Amino acid sequence: MDGGTEWVVDAFDCSAERLRDRARVTALCQEVIARCELRVVGEPAVHVFPGPGGVTALYLLAESHLACHTFPESGVATINLYCCTPRRGPSWDLVCATHLGSTRVIVRELARGGA
C-alpha cells in the first residue's frame, strides 16, 4: 500500500512584509490546494503572531494536511504538504515567489508509508 507523498518546502529571501501578511500566506495555501485539487475539511486555523512575528496556517485536508510557518526575522517560510493519494505537487518556486517574494526554494519530496 502506498502511503502518499510529503513535500517539505523551505522558501528563502522572502519579503518580511509578506511573511507577516495573513492574506498573502492564506492565498499561498489556497493556491497550493487549488493546484493540487485538494479538499479542505472544516475551517483552516490561522494565527498571526504579534509585532514582528509571522503567520502559522494549518489546513486539514481530506487527503491529509497542509502547514505553513513564516519567519519574517529571517525571511524564511516553511511549508509541509502531505497527501495520502497520488498527485503532482504545484510549482513550488512559482507559488512561493508569487505570494512571498522568495528568490530560492528547496523542495524535498518524500514517498511515505510504501513497502
Q: Catalytic residue positions? A: 64, 69, 84
Q: How far lies 67's CA from each of 1, 54, 59, 114, in Å?
A: 25, 13, 6, 22
Q: How far apart are CA 26 and CA 77, in angstroms?
A: 13
